[in-house]
Amino acid sequence: MIAAMMHARYALSSCAAAVLLSLAGGASTGCRGIDADVQYPGDLPSLDNQILSPEGDADPSVRLGAFKFHPNVCQGIDVHAATLPLDPDDLARFLEKQGTKVTPVKARPDLYWFDFPNGEENGKLRLRLAVLSSPALAAKDLHDSLLDHGPGWWGVRRSNLALLAPKAGLSQAAAFAVKQKLMCWGIFTYTGRDDAYVVPGPYSEP
C-alpha cells in the first residue's frame, strides 16, 4: 500500500483514546490535534506538479493514501538512504544547500530546536529534532510523538534523526516540506485520525 500505515504498537492516537473514552461513557474532547499556536509561512509553493497519485497520474487528491511526492521535486539532490548515525548538523547543512540557513539550538543533549522564518517580523516556526541512537528508535520516537500530539502533526525521519513539526493541514504540511525539500532529506509522515501515515517520496530507507 503506497501510503503505508505505521501501526501503533506502543501508543494510542489521541483520536483512538477519545473513541475508547466515549464508548466507556466518559467525556471526549474529540479527534483534534494539539494546537501549537504557530504561523506557517504565507509564501508556500503550490503542490501543482509536485505530487502524483500512487499510480503516477497527475493532479491527485491531497489526502492520505491518495498521493506521493513527485521524483522531480528532488532533482539534483542525493536521495540515497543514510546508513551512518547522524547529528543535527546533517539537517542544518541540507537546509543551507536548499537556501535556508537555520542554526540548531540545543534544548538538551538529544533534543534540538530548528527555528524557520515564517515571514512575520521576528516570527519563527519551530520544529523539534530528536537525536536517537538508532534508526529504529528514531522511527519509534517520531511515531509516538505524532500519536501523542494528534491529527495534523507531522514529521520527517532520516536514519537516527526524528524531526517533529507543528500541526498543519495536509496540504500546508506537504507544501512546507516541498519548500524546504524535506521529503528529499527523510521520510515524510503525517498524523491522521487513527494513526500516523507515511507519504511516499524520493527518499526512503530499507
Residue type, 5: M
Residue 11 confidence (pLDDT): 37
**Average pLDDT for residues 155-180, to the nearest whole number?**
98
Residue 82 has pLDDT above 70, yes or no: yes
Residue 15 confidence (pLDDT): 62
Residue 8 confidence (pLDDT): 32
Name residue 39's beta-bridge partners: none
Residue 156 confidence (pLDDT): 98
Residue 37 confidence (pLDDT): 84
Cα–Cα separations (whole angstroms), residue 100 to 14, 88, 118, 172, 188: 33, 15, 12, 18, 19
Residue 174 confidence (pLDDT): 98
Q: Is 73 exposed, middle or buried (0-12, 13-18, 19+ CB in 10 A)?
A: buried
Residue pLDDT, tens place only, 133-161: 999 999 999 999 999 999 999 999 999 99
**Average pLDDT for residues 71-86, to the nearest whole number?**
97
